[in-house]
Homo-oligomer: A and B are copies of this chain.
């Protein structure tokens, strides 16, 4: 049986430079560079699948750890799997929970085999081990399952990062073994490995080597955008991305801002995810080429202009800044929905523009057109 996954580079001017590609999954193709919106509990907050699709989303992300806690992965399986639950027939990727468990301050006890964490819902002990996480992700049934990794809380603490990398590699062996033993990609679910190594170039290089020793459908760079400064992040990326196999999708986890996206796309990263557009939307911030707008600002009270004259999203086609300000001030839930729609459209439009710019050799020029958004 041939793999239902295929990655085709469409355009790449130079080795280790920016590229456009198509990542084919059992639920359709993803044109990269692409941004994946985050639907932690099986929905983007406040958006229906029709609204999500209209923003330009193709592949979306959900969190295996959260869905394991609620409603439970077996319940999701009984309900027909994550695609049915999310009413999303496009590609889905599930994060394994490594980031949530280690970085979001849950009380957890870690050992060489896994982690014991107290559920935020009811205080019960939850045990996560590589095989268990694979089992959870298999029950959810996303197109891509992320390996269970250890994301160190402080990427500048060498001892901590070393230990986390070692665990990540050992756990990846177990994830791969479980995945192979359960049909591999033929089951319709690919496994992506995750590179760690914190802010240390040698540890990043070593982690790339260990992770890429496994022949996987795709590879991710984890442990960035966890609070480190910009130069540490740049160094971590420079020591990771160029060494990942050129013929596989490269996914930078949890990133990011327009600036981060330009930086990483220039290095040849294909996939991204971040809560930024939806979370900022719920907080009444709108992304534009001219920088972020705070829609609660008094200056928009009687503004009949849309957020962005050139944006074709539902929000910009139907609502003025003045109306949006009113909806924000009145704390109407529709405000979060409308601003999430605009922000996701902004991010997807940006990625599509990057793709065209890569094919026309004008990525630098595009970045200068987005200068205010990049600096914001």
Q: Which residues of A contact B (CB under 8 A)?
A: 41-51, 70-71, 75, 78-80, 84-85, 87, 301-302, 304, 314, 318-320, 322-323, 325-327, 329-330, 332-334, 336-338
Closest-CB distance, A199 to chain B (whole angstroms): 35
The smallest C-beta distance from A151 to any residue of chain B, in angstroms, reads 24
Question: In the assembled complex, how far is the CB of residue A79 from the closest CB belonging to chain B, in whole angstroms?
Answer: 4
- Residue contact A323 to B79, C-beta cutoff 8 Å: yes
A78 / chain B contacts, CB cutoff of 8 Å? 302, 304, 322
In the bound complex, residues from chain B placing their C-beta under 8 Å from that of A322 are 71, 75, 78-79
- Contact A302 B332, beta carbon cutoff 8 Å: no
Do residues B45 and A323 form an inter-chain contact, with CB atoms below 8 A?
no
Contact B334 A46 (CB under 8 A): yes
Give the residue among A75, A79, A80, A332 with the most B Cβ atoms within 10 A: A79
Given A43-B334, A46-B333, A84-B320, 14 additional A-B pairs, CB 8 A:
A41-B326, A41-B330, A43-B332, A48-B51, A48-B334, A71-B301, A71-B330, A78-B304, A79-B320, A79-B326, A85-B326, A87-B318, A333-B337, A337-B337
- Identity of the chain B residue whose Cβ is nearest the Cβ of A47 in the assembled complex: B334
Give 17 A-B contacts (CB < 8 Å), ordered by A residue. A42-B323, A42-B330, A46-B332, A46-B334, A48-B51, A70-B326, A71-B325, A71-B329, A71-B330, A75-B322, A78-B322, A79-B304, A84-B304, A84-B323, A87-B319, A333-B336, A337-B337
What is the CA–CA distance of A302 and B325 in the complex, to the nearest angstrom? 40
